[in-house]
Amino acid sequence: MTDNTAVTKQAETSRNDSALLPPVDVIEDAGGITLYADLPGVSKEGLGLQVEADTLTIEGEITLAVPEGMESSHAEVSLPRYRRVFTLSKELDTEKVGAEFNQGVLKLRIPKAAHAQPRKIEVRVA
């Protein structure tokens, strides 16, 4: 990401417990940013989103059900949770974050604050 990208960097996790890093796409436009996070195996109830100051935290608990009477003999996903932390730009309005979750894909829309929005200046004739 470039220096003027709204999500500037991934912050260090504040906990020592292990978690998978979900892949995240960040798209910036004139009105704000949209994040798409892939969280397969996470239910809506297992999803946790938090914005505190300039930090966005995405967490998800994986619920993979094994049919009754069977046990897993091989598992490539051994960690039961996702966690990703981002430091947000001061240009973003964290009071207006919108979130949608559909088929394991989280979509977050964070608009730019009014002072960071492009605006047209009207020129008057004197």
- Per-residue pLDDT of 59-71, as tens digits, reads 999 887 778 888 8
- The answer, as to whether pTM is greater than 0.85, is no
Give the pLDDT of residue 6: 41
86 vs 92: CA distance, rounded Å: 13
The CATH number that domain 7-65+76-116 falls under is 2.60.40.790
Domain ranges of the chain: 7-65+76-116
Tokens at residue 76, please?
């490539």
Q: 73-123, pLDDT tens digit by residue?
A: 887 777 789 999 999 999 999 999 999 999 999 999 999 987 767 778 889
Give the pLDDT of residue 10: 40
